[in-house]
Amino acid sequence: MKQVLQHVVWFVGLLLFQILILDNMHFLGIYIPMLYIYALLRLPSTLSSYASLLIGFSVGMIMDIFTNTPGMHAAATTLMAGVRYPLIRLFVLKDDLSNRTISLSWMGRSVFWRYTVILVLIHHTTLYLLEAMSFMNGIALLTKIPMCSLLTILFIMAFELISPKEHAR
């Protein structure tokens, strides 16, 4: 129960930080880090795919409501949540999967950052392709996806480095 409460507080805190602060800070005018997906990255490793999809959709829908983007965040976070478990299974042996929160200290540097980069790129690519609704402005898309992904990964890195090591339960 304590772990569930920690995740709820984590989600609420990151959503508020995203909505109130990060969405109002545009780096170089157009780049926004999407830190709220960090909560999805850190879900327990044994969480069922259905629960992950439901949580991903719910978090995306909350972002859509507050950012007035009809279904774009929900689609991107649902796809990210759907790919999450197979990606964990790709990087972590089944014997090592226990009810742990995904973290740098549990997975190790290399595995955690590969996992993070892949999921962030999937999320951002989906979100910005849906936002653009075309490939007509490809140059803008080719700069926005990697720059926003880089900003998001830098924020995740900062949060991961300052978070207590006890999260690896």
Q: Reduce the secondary structure of the chain to three states and give it as a string.
A: CHHHHHHHHHHHHHHHHHHHCHHHCCECCCECCCCCHHHHHCCECCCCHHHHHHHHHHHHHHHHHHHCCCCHHHHHHHHHHHHHHHHHHHHCCHHHCCCCECCHHHHCHHHHHHHHHHHHHHHHHHHHHHHHCCCCCHHHHHHHHHHHHHHHHHHHHHHHHHCCHHHHC
Domain assignment of residue 108, given as a range: 2-39+46-168
Residue 2's CB is within 10 A of a number of other CB atoms, namely 7
Question: Is the pTM higher than 0.75?
Answer: yes
Q: Which residue has the tokens 């595995």?
A: 111
Distance linking the first and last C-alpha atoms of the chain: 14
CATH of the domain at 78: 1.10.1760
Residue 153's CB is within 10 A of a number of other CB atoms, namely 18
CA–CA separation, 61 and 124 (whole Å): 16
Total structural domains in the chain?
1
CA distances from 138 to 34, 56, 126, 141 (A): 21, 28, 14, 5
pLDDT tens-place values along the chain, 169 residues long: 677 788 888 889 999 999 998 888 878 778 889 999 999 998 887 788 899 999 999 999 999 999 998 899 999 999 999 999 888 888 876 656 665 677 777 777 888 899 999 999 999 999 999 988 866 777 888 889 999 999 999 999 998 888 765 444 4
